[in-house]
Amino acid sequence: MSKKQLHIRDKKGTTNIEHTNIVRIEAKRSSCIVHKENGEVVLISKSLKKIVRKLGSAFVKVHRSHAINLYKILHYYKSKNRVEMDNGSIVPVSRTEKYDFIEAYNIF
């Protein structure tokens, strides 16, 4: 994996999160919640689309409000259209994103 980072600016300064530490990203209105592997969550005021584009091919959008790190997938439940991540979280896979997800997952 390459050393891609997510740069977060706030009142305290700039924080960098290695993409290898990110399990999933959840969109909430005009911002996103980044779920890290240690259980920590970070709020970012960027769109899901911009974050996924920045982090690269290890991340794939699986729902209009969810993107996941392909390295952190524990199991894909095809019949339930859900992905279980290695931190135990369950992420829905929408019908519109399903085929792009499966293609990325198979190539990965």
Could you report how far apart the first and last alpha carbons of the chain are, in Å?
12
Domain of 47, CATH number, reads: 2.40.50.1020
> Above 90 in pLDDT, residue 4?
no
Give the pTM.
Answer: 0.88
What pLDDT, on the 0 to 100 scale, is given for residue 3?
Answer: 63
pLDDT band at 1 (very low <50, low <70, confident <90, very high): very low
> How many domains is the chain partitioned into structurally?
1
In angstroms, rounded to a whole number, what is the distance separating the alpha carbons of residues 94 and 50?
20
Give the domain extent around 30. Answer: 5-107
> Above 90 in pLDDT, residue 2?
no
Q: Which residue has the tokens 């920590």?
A: 40
> Above 70 in pLDDT, residue 10?
no
What pLDDT, on the 0 to 100 scale, is given for residue 7?
Answer: 76
> Above 90 in pLDDT, residue 88?
yes
List Cβ neighbours of 94 (8 Å cut-off, separation of 6 or more).
62, 63, 64, 81
Token pair listed for 61: 């959008």
* 12-68 pLDDT per residue, tens: 778 888 889 999 999 998 899 999 999 999 999 889 999 999 898 899 999 999 999
